[in-house]
Amino acid sequence: MKNLGVMLLAAALSIGAAADLYAQDVTARVQVCASCHGESGNSNTPLIPSLAGQPEFFLTTQLVLMREQVRPVAAMDGLLTGLDDAVLVSLAEYFAKMPAKKSDEIKDSERMARGKALSDGMRCTSCHGANLSGQEQMPRLAGQRVDYMVAAMKSFRDSTRPGADPLMANVVAGVSDADLQALAEYVSGK
Amino acid sequence: MADHRKKRLSGLRLGTFGLLAGLLMAAQPALAQRPASQANPLDKSDLGRSKQDPDLKGVPVPVTVTPLDKVPLNKIKVPAGFKVDVYAHSMPGARTMLHGEKGTIFVGSRTIGRVYAITEKDGKREAKIILQGLTSPNGLAMRDGSLYVFAINKVLRYDKIEDNLDKLPEPVDLSAAFNLPGDAQHGWKFVAFGPDGKLYVPVGANCNICEINPATHAHIRRYNPDGTGMEIVARGVRNTVGFDWHPVTKEFWFTDNGRDWAGEDGPEDELNRLPKNMEGAFFGFPYCHANAIADPDIGKPKSCEGVILPAALMGPHAAALGMKFYTGSMFPEKFKNAAFVARHGSWNRSKRFGYDVVVAIPQKNGKAKVEPFMTGLLDQEKNAFLGRPTHVMQMPDGALLVSDELSGVLYRISYPAKVAAR
């Protein structure tokens, strides 16, 4: 009887330890992410996107595509190598649950007004959701860093982003740099 | 693998027109009411005229494994006497299937950029990733032990691949020889060797609806296996993702996806037949669709003159993709030389349509009669779907494999009734 108790205790401890290790693992990885993407996934670093509040489906998809170099991102090189799907999903779950904050970049009200008109015409909400908070494979734009979104839209427009879906390339085809800036300031401020 | 990333050509090259359109949009943004999915300034889609819900959008493809207990096998319906099993699973994004000369089944994909290989060892079937990091490697073909992989703007040949599945040989890069446009839109391929030993390669329209350059887009080509000797075999083809040759007449049949944003009910997708000795014939895009519907946004006079009309209509926005003529002896006589066609399912339609496999039975007049075959993945009441059949392939024993891109599985449809009756 006593032996059984010891065994049960040992089993309970090892399960606890395993779960703990897993938690540490995710926490440790999250810290690696946070060093660039900001505490709780809200970025204050130029050109680094915020992850907080992004749809989980979107984050998982992008992590897998980056890991497998369908979408190579130099700054992410090596960071995802060897991580299995379960780890990527746990990272996506973590950041999807974090509350999104507004980017602290300075926005110009005139440009934002022009951005709104552009956004209405280009129907951003059609895919990114009524509040531009993203859905499924479509990312959250509200609160996102302006400089990151401008760079991303330019790379879609100029076909310098490998592995990208043709959808965004079509949406921003022929749109000027100034208009991309206005769009980004508006959607970020939503 | 790094090599795949080095050379990426631009998807869209916009000249003065693109710039002008950009300026116009800037000046009058409210007028630029384009559907989000088709905002290419060259595109003539007219959202207002289509009267469709402007928020219709594409369906995401999961990039992680669907657990076997979540695969909707028990929802699938097939005609009496037929049986469905899961043949292989855990292949996110599984689309094109190819039976290797030594029995390996290769599976291509789009978003996830992988090629899988399914092998059997000691009675155990295993699917593994053999290639990754490619841009939509949906085109697979095999000849003389070599696997040809067609990604967007990348053509790679892996020699003696089935002897080297554990460590793939360095590929021969044939991209320059094939010299295909690198457009992301409709740029993914279905490819196959024809009875003439040529490699058939389509180039889709780089828009939903626009005046394409007929020398470079919206047609089907054929090449020598090394990429030389290009000829255009069919013109005015918007985007085909499946074709085959009739087992008896040897005529070339292909699916073609109808344009979007011209109404809920059409123009319907097509199953086309290229009549003998009519290579290079014109199938209508962008002027004429389905059974002679003049394009409403282009509005060319005499739009359908000289156009070869389809052998069968495949349904509105159905996304008729993979097709294969059945030549096996397992299925009942009725299916002999009939074409199975996978319908991926609609996105540009409020009421969902397709998500099934149909059979197109060729008739004496050169047309084909379409009947349902594999159904059950579309819940019409809930307007929801549980799978996206993408491609069909006949196995050596006569069973039919169907790939489902949504669950990342291959279903096997067999006809045990015939075996039992023997």
Contact (CB, 8 A) for A11 and A3: no
pLDDT digits (tens, 9 = 90+) for A49-60: 999 999 999 999
d(CA B109, CA B95): 5
Secondary structure (DSSP) of B149-167: EEETTEEEEETTGGG-SSS
Contact A121 B36 (CB under 8 A): no
Q: Which of B9, B30, B43 sits opposite A121 (nearest CB)?
A: B30
Element (H, E) at A127: helix A124-128
Going along chain B from its start, the domains and CATH numbers come out as 76-97+185-421 (2.120.10.30)
Measured between beta carbons, the chain B residues lying within 8 angstroms of A87 are none
Give the confidence band of B315 by pLDDT, cuts at 50, 70, 90. very high
d(CA B11, CA B187): 9
Strands (E), B59-153: 83-88, 97-99, 105-107, 115-121, 124-131, 139-143, 146-151
CB pairs under 8 A between A and B: 137
The owner of tokens 């009875």 is B195
* Start and end residues for every CATH 1.10.760.10 domain found in chain A: 2-97, 109-189
In chain B, residues 167-226 whose CB comes closer than 8 Å to chain A: 183-185, 187
pTM recorded for the entire structure: 0.89
Give the confidence band of B420 by pLDDT, cuts at 50, 70, 90. low
Contact A166 B183 (CB under 8 A): yes
For residue A162, pLDDT over 60 is answered with yes
What's the pLDDT at A28?
86
pLDDT digits (tens, 9 = 90+) for B293-311: 999 999 999 999 999 999 9
Residues 6+ apart with CB under 8 A from B419: B330
In chain B, residues 133-172 whose CB comes closer than 8 Å to chain A: 133-135
ipTM confidence:
0.86
B175 against B16, higher pLDDT: B175
What's the pLDDT at A24?
58
Contact A118 B26 (CB under 8 A): yes
Q: What is the DSSP letter of B140?
A: E
For residue A22, pLDDT over 50 is answered with yes
Measured between beta carbons, the chain B residues lying within 8 angstroms of A164 are 184
**Count of CB atoms situated within 10 Å of the CB of B421:** 7
Nearest CA in chain B to A179: B26
The neighbouring-strand residues paired with B293 are B289
What's the pLDDT at A12?
45
What's the pLDDT at B185?
83
d(CA A16, CA A20): 6
Give the confidence band of B57 by pLDDT, cuts at 50, 70, 90. confident
Contact (CB, 8 A) for B139 and B203: no
Q: Which of B1, B20, B37, B56 to mutate to test the interface with A (most CBs of A within 10 A)?
A: B37
Q: Name which of B415, B335, B374 is nearest B78 in CA terms.
A: B374
pLDDT digits (tens, 9 = 90+) for A104-153: 998 899 999 999 999 999 899 999 999 999 999 999 999 999 999 999 99
Q: Give me B137's structure tokens.
A: 């490697």
Q: Give me A3's structure tokens.
A: 């032996």
pLDDT digits (tens, 9 = 90+) for B19-38: 333 333 333 333 334 444 44
Nearest CA in chain B to A157: B12
Distances (CA, A) of B204 to B183, B187, B234: 9, 6, 12
What's the pLDDT at A171?
86
3-state SS assignment for residue B93:
coil
Q: From the CA of A9, how many Å to the nearest CA of chain B?
A: 32
Measured between beta carbons, the chain B residues lying within 8 angstroms of A118 are 25-26, 29
Q: Which of A117, A169, A175 sits opposite B22 (nearest CB)?
A: A175
Average pLDDT, chain A: 88
The predicted model gives B370-399 an average pLDDT of: 98
pLDDT digits (tens, 9 = 90+) for B340-371: 999 999 999 999 999 999 999 999 999 999 99
Q: Give me B163's structure tokens.
A: 């002897």
Contact (CB, 8 A) for B319 and B378: no
Cis peptide before B286 (omega within 30 of 0): yes
Residues 6+ apart with CB under 8 A from B337: B246, B247, B248, B325, B326, B327, B362
Least confident of A46-60, B3-17, B124-138: B3-17
A28 against B18, higher pLDDT: A28
Per CATH, the number for A2-97 is 1.10.760.10
**Count of CB atoms situated within 10 Å of the CB of B170:** 9
Q: Which of A70, A122, A137 sits opposite B32 (nearest CB)?
A: A122
For residue A14, pLDDT over 60 is answered with no
pLDDT digits (tens, 9 = 90+) for A2-11: 444 444 444 4
φ/ψ of residue A106, rounded to 5: -80, 130
For residue A25, pLDDT over 90 is answered with no
Q: Give me B63's structure tokens.
A: 């990039």
Region of residue B61 (phi > 0: left; psi between -120 and 50: alpha; otherwise: beta): beta
* CB-neighbour burial class of residue B291 (10 A; exposed 0-12, middle 13-18, buried 19+): middle
Residues 6+ apart with CB under 8 A from B266: B258, B289, B290, B293, B316
What's the pLDDT at B265?
94
The predicted model gives A47-75 an average pLDDT of: 96
The neighbouring-strand residues paired with B269 are none
Q: Give me B164's structure tokens.
A: 């080297």
Asked if the A109-189 domain carries CATH number 1.10.760.10, the reply is yes
What's the pLDDT at B37?
44
Interface of A with B (CB under 8 A): 57, 60-61, 64-65, 68-70, 72, 85, 88-89, 114, 117-118, 120-124, 126-127, 136-137, 158-160, 162-167, 169-176, 178-179
Contact (CB, 8 A) for A128 and A119: no
